[in-house]
Each structure stands twice: as C-alpha cells, then as structure tokens.
C-alpha cells in the first residue's frame, strides 16, 4: 500500500513541490543569516554569534545542494515537459550559486577578518541591506514563477532596483577606501570583500533576468 | 473471406497504413515530439483507440461517403482506393499539400464518371462544405478551449509542476479521444468504398457480434493501427513544429482536432441536434491535418494581433489549393486506372444498376 502511495504521480509531484519550496526557504534564510552575520561582524568583529551564523550558512549551503540534486533527479524521472525541467533546473542552479557565494563570502571573511574602519559602516550596512533584499526579491519572484508567471515578471523591477542600490553603495565604499590613507594592500583587501558582496547582488539580478524569460515562456 | 477479396482489399489496407503513419502524428505528435509521452505508449494507445473508434462509430462517416457514389464492384473499389493512394503518395513526393479524404472523394467521383453514374451534387457540396468548415471549426474550438484553459489557470493558479502533470495526463486523454475520432471518421476513407461490394457476412465471437461493415472497419482499423506504429518520424516533425505554441496550446490543438473529427462522425450527436431542432452536421470524413492547421491558427488568434502575425498564411493558401487540386488529380487517376483495370486486366469495376 505504501509502495502504491509513493509511486502515485500526484504524490510524487506534491513531494517535489515541498522540496522546491524548501529549497527557496533555504536560499532566503541563508541570505538573512549572511546579513545578520555581516552586520554583527562589522560591529563587534568575529564573535561567537558570527561564528554561529557562519555555521548556519554552511549548513544551508549543504542542504541546498542536497535538495537541488534530489529535485533534479525527480524532475527527470517524472517526465515532465523537458522545457519546464530545463527552466526549473536552471533557476535552481542560479539560486544554488547564490548559496555558494554566500558560503564563500563568509568563509573568506572568517579567514581574512578584514578591518573596515567605522566611517564606512553606514554605506556597508546599506549595501548589505540592498544586496540581501535583491536575493530576497529574487526568491519571491521565483515563488511567483511557480504559481503565477505574470506576477514573477512584474517583480523584475524590484530586483533591478535593489541591485542598483547595492552597486551604488558599493561604489561609495570603494571610493572612500581608495581616498583614505590606508596602505594599498589593505585597500585592495577591503575592496575585494566589497566586490564579493556586490557579486552576490549581481548574480541575484542575473537569476532574476533568467527568471523573467522563463516566466514569459509560461505566460498563457 | 476469400483470397481474391483480400487482394482487392489490399489497396484500401495500404491506404489505411499510410493514413496511420501520417495522421497518428496529428493526435500524439505534440506529446511525443515534446517527449512527454513515449513513442511506444503513444503508438499502442493510438492503435487501440483508432480500432475501437473505427468499429464502434465508423458507420456514420462511411454512410456519408457512400451517398457520393456506391462503388458496387470489388474491382472498382480496389481501383478507387488505389487511385487515392497513388494520389496521396505522388502529391506527398511532389511536396504538394494533400489529404487522404479529398483524394478518396476525387477517386469516387472518377468512378462515377467512368461508370456513368450521376454524382449526387448535393452530397458532393455537403462534403466539400465540410472541408472548408473543418479548419474553421478547428480554429473556433481551439480559440474557445484556449481561453477556457487560460481563465482556469489564472483563477486557480496551479503550481507549474502540477500544471505540467495535468498537461501530461491531458495529452494522453486527448490523444486517446483524438485517436478514437480519427478511427471513427477516417475509416470511411480506408474501407468505405468497399462497403457496397463487400462479400463479408455477420460473425459473432460470443456476445460480440460484428456486422459485415464492422468486419471491414476492423480490418481497416488494424491497417491504420499498424501504420501508427511507423509514425515516429512524422510525429517528431509535427511535435516540434507545434511546440513553439507552448504546452497548453499543443494540448488545445489535439483537443480541437479530436472534437472536429468527432462531430463529423457521431450519430448520437447528429440525433441530438435533430432532437433539439438544430440543423444536423453531415457525417463525412474530414481531413485531420487541416483540422490541426485550423486549430493552430485558433491558438494563434487567442494571442490577439501578436498571434495573428505569426500565422503562416501560405499554409492556409496551400490547403485551399488542395481542396481543388487533390480531388481533381485523384478523379483523373481513378478514371484512367479504372479503364486499365477493366480493359487490360479484364476485371469488373462496376455493375450496371438494374441490369
């Protein structure tokens, strides 16, 4: 009986839906943990709280990898429309890449532990907020894509807006760094970390652009 | 059943095989081309439902075709079916648009001319009218179905994966219904001309009783079903050419085509229309390919002006050309072939009625 239940196509699809939702939750939670960890780091250095956030992000990244792999296998074995399978896997791949970048950023922060002067903090906080909001909006648009492709397309402008905000704030921080009296190697190290945050917003924006195309393909 | 009868029937069975190999693609092409349904599953389902449709509901369209001309000698039936098959084959090789239905009608008119039997112009007009009506109805059904599904999707907002699951089930159900309608409607093309001259008797297999007509339809249905097993290349071509529509559009096309073939085959529907005081639709074979083209145009129209620009008007023009060209060529080939069969092979191709 259990075997019959688990092999039912409707049940398989329901399991798949739960996994997809779970994956999107993981991306969203990882971005929130990253923002909280970075803010705490900028205020108080590498504390136990930041260590905890770092461990959370690594766990989210592992869970995301597992879920993505399981979803991919299920999508192919259920013989859904190949076009849909391709689009969904591309989207999940782009979001999984965000998880990778989040993990890499926090790991590099832990290794290098750069010292950002307090003067840069307001712009950095602003950049972090805008970056994580870009990721959040991309996750929201992804949720919409699965239920209502028209809404997913309409959410594009928010993703672009926050990515633009993150880029502006990032440029302000870089300009401030290079107009300071810090040694060049320190300037380059700080810039490297700012660019890592900016890359996160860029990739979320790219995922949003791909999502818009997938949504157009699904629009009736 | 005698061996000479089977030899005479071979041209009809060949026509059935070509019809199966080509028209099965209209039913399952989208599903197989998009790899939603495996070819083997599609071919088996198509063959099975074509067979059921032919035996259960094949009588209506076959009777309609018989009104045009009752080919009353086996040699004549063989030659008429052969002329239709040659026309379909020749025009396909020449790259001209062709429909088995129109070739069969032309070949019957050729027999009428050869045997000096008056062609029932009312029946001919009725049949030709359905050629024009079937793509138009295909477009209309597709337009209505597409709007209905679009509305349902917008209201219920199913998850993309659930929608795909439903589409997959829809492709199988619509494909089976399409195959049933194809069998019911197009069996008349395959063995319809053999009905008046058939020497077959009623047989029974336990509770299952098959009339002479149904035995013919069963054999024709088997020929179409075997043809469907060879339809993979056409299915892939049709499937890929229709897929740019989007999956829902593909499903709508199959549903609309099934509906068009059904309304021109169903005696029950005809009876219902008469009962409620509406003019009955003639039961005659129509072209499934042209119904599909009409349905594709219908889906394009559902997208408004943007969709209208994507319609390949040359395809519609070719269909209109085919309405005239195919029956004319088939009538000519039929006339010449009847002359050869009668005078060279000394076979009876018609019986003088009342003699």
Strand ranges for chain B from DSSP E: 203-205, 208-210
Q: Domain segments of chain A: what residues?
A: 14-219
Cβ <8 Å between A81 and B153: no
The share of chain A scoring above pLDDT 90, in percent, equals 75
Cβ <8 Å between B161 and A84: yes
Out of A13, A149, A217, the one facing B161 most closely (by C-beta) is A13
Distance CA B208, CA B206 (A): 5
Contacts of residues A184-192 at CB distance under 8 Å and 24 or more positions apart, as own/partner, are A186/A114, A186/A115, A189/A112, A189/A114, A190/A114, A190/A116, A190/A120
Q: Are the C-beta atoms of A93 and A68 separated by less than 8 Å?
A: yes
Nearest CA in chain B to A79: B36
**Assessment of whether the complete model's pTM goes beyond 0.90:** no
Residue B193 forms contact with A (CB below 8 Å): no
Flag whether pLDDT at B21 surpasses 90: no
Q: Higher pLDDT residue, B1 or B342? A: B342
Distance CA B295, CA B290 (A): 9
Distance CA B32, CA A167 (A): 47
Domain A14-219 architecture? Up-down Bundle (1.20)
Under the banding of pLDDT at 50, 70 and 90, the label for residue B97 is low
Q: Residue B59: CA atoms inside 13 Å, Cβ hemisphere, count?
A: 12
**Sign, Cα dihedral of A94, A100, A105, A106:** positive
Distance CA A69, CA A96 (A): 10
Return mean pLDDT, chain B.
Answer: 87
pLDDT digits (tens, 9 = 90+) for B109-168: 999 999 998 888 888 898 889 888 999 999 999 999 999 999 999 898 888 888 888 888
What is the Cα B197 distance to its own chain's centre? 22
Distance CA A91, CA A149 (A): 13
SS3 B209: strand
Nearest CA in chain A to B31: A81
DSSP string, B12-40: HHHHHHHHHHHHHHHHHHHHHHTTSS-HH
Under the banding of pLDDT at 50, 70 and 90, the label for residue A170 is very high
Cβ <8 Å between A81 and B150: no
Flag whether pLDDT at A76 surpasses 60: yes
B205 strand-pairing partners:
B208
Burial class (CB within 10 angstroms; exposed 0-12, middle 13-18, buried 19+) of B355: exposed
Q: What is the pLDDT of residue B249?
A: 87
Q: What is the pLDDT of residue B93?
A: 77
DSSP state, residue B280:
P
pLDDT digits (tens, 9 = 90+) for B183-220: 999 898 888 888 888 888 888 888 888 898 899 999 99
Residue A82 forms contact with B (CB below 8 Å): yes
Flag whether pLDDT at B38 surpasses 90: no
Q: Which A-chain residues 129-158 have CB contacts (< 8 A) with chain B?
A: 145-149
Q: What is the pLDDT of residue B137?
A: 95
Cβ <8 Å between A217 and B247: no
pLDDT digits (tens, 9 = 90+) for A174-211: 999 999 999 999 999 999 999 999 999 999 999 999 99
CA A212-A168-A145 angle, to 5 degrees, is 15
Flag whether pLDDT at A5 surpasses 60: no
Under the banding of pLDDT at 50, 70 and 90, the label for residue B242 is low
Q: Residue B175: CA atoms inside 13 Å, Cβ hemisphere, count?
A: 31
Cβ <8 Å between B165 and A83: no
Residue B240 forms contact with A (CB below 8 Å): no
Is this prediction's ipTM beyond 0.90?
A: no
pLDDT digits (tens, 9 = 90+) for B278-309: 888 888 889 888 888 888 889 888 888 777 77
| Chain B residues lying within 8 Å of A20, measured CB to CB | 161
Measure B342 CA to nearest chain A CA, in Å.
55
Q: What is the pLDDT of residue B19?
A: 87
Flag whether pLDDT at B310 surpasses 90: no
């Amino acid at each position: 009986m259990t075997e019959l239940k688990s092999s039912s196509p409707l049940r398989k699809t329901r399991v798949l839906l739960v996994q997809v939702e779970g994956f999107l939750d993981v991306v969203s939670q990882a971005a929130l943990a990253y923002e909280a960890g970075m803010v705490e780091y900028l205020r108080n250095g590498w504390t136990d709280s930041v260590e905890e956030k770092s461990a959370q992000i690594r766990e989210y990244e592992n869970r995301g990898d597992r879920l993505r792999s399981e979803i991919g296998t299920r999508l192919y074995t259920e013989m859904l429309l190949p076009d849909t399978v391709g689009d969904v896997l591309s989207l999940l791949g782009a979001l999984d890449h965000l998880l990778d970048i989040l993990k890499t950023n926090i790991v590099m922060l832990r290794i290098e532990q750069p010292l950002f002067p307090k003067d840069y903090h307001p712009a950095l906080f602003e950049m972090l907020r805008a970056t994580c909001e870009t990721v959040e909006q991309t996750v929201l648009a992804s949720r919409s894509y699965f239920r209502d492709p028209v809404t997913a397309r309409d959410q594009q402008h928010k993703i672009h807006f926050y990515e633009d905000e993150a880029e502006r704030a990032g440029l302000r921080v870089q300009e401030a760094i290079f107009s300071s009296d810090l040694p060049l190697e320190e300037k380059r190290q700080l810039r490297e970390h700012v660019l890592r945050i900016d890359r996160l917003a860029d990739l979320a924006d790219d995922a949003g652009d791909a999502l818009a195309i997938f949504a157009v393909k699904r629009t009736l | 059943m005698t061996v000479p009868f089977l030899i005479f029937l071979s041209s009809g069975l060949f026509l059935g095989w070509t019809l199966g190999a080509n028209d099965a693609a209209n039913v399952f092409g989208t599903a197989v081309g998009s790899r939603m349904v495996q070819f083997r599953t599609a071919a088996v389902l198509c063959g099975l439902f074509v067979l059921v449709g032919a035996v259960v509901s094949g009588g209506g369209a076959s009777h309609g075709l018989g009104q045009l001309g009752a080919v009353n000698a086996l040699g004549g039936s063989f030659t008429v079916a052969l002329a239709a098959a040659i026309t379909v084959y020749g025009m396909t090789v020449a790259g001209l648009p062709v429909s088995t239905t129109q070739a069969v009608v032309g070949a019957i008119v050729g027999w009428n001319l050869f045997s000096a039997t008056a062609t029932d112009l009312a029946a001919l007009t009725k049949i030709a009218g359905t050629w024009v009506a079937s793509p138009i109805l295909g477009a209309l059904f597709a337009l209505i179905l597409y709007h209905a599904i679009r509305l349902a999707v917008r209201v219920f907002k199913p998850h993309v994966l659930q929608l795909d699951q439903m589409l997959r089930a829809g492709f199988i159900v619509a494909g089976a219904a399409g195959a049933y309608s194809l069998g019911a409607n197009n069996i008349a093309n395959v063995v319809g001309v053999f009905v008046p001259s058939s020497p077959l008797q009623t047989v029974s297999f336990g509770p299952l009783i098959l009339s002479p007509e149904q035995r013919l339809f069963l054999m024709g249905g088997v020929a179409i079903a075997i043809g469907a097993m060879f339809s993979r290349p056409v299915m892939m071509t049709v499937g890929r050419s229709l897929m740019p529509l989007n999956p829902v559009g593909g499903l709508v096309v199959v549903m609309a085509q099934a509906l068009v073939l059904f309304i021109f085959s169903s005696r029950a529907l005809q009876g219902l229309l008469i009962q409620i005081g509406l003019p009955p639709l003639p039961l005659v074979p129509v072209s499934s390919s042209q119904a599909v083209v009409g349905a594709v145009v219908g889906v394009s129209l559902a997208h408004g002006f943007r969709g209208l620009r994507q319609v390949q008007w040359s395809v519609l023009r070719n269909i209109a050309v085919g309405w005239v060209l195919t029956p004319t060529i088939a009538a000519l080939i039929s006339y010449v072939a009847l002359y050869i069969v009668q005078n060279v092979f000394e076979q009876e191709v018609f019986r003088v009625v009342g003699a």
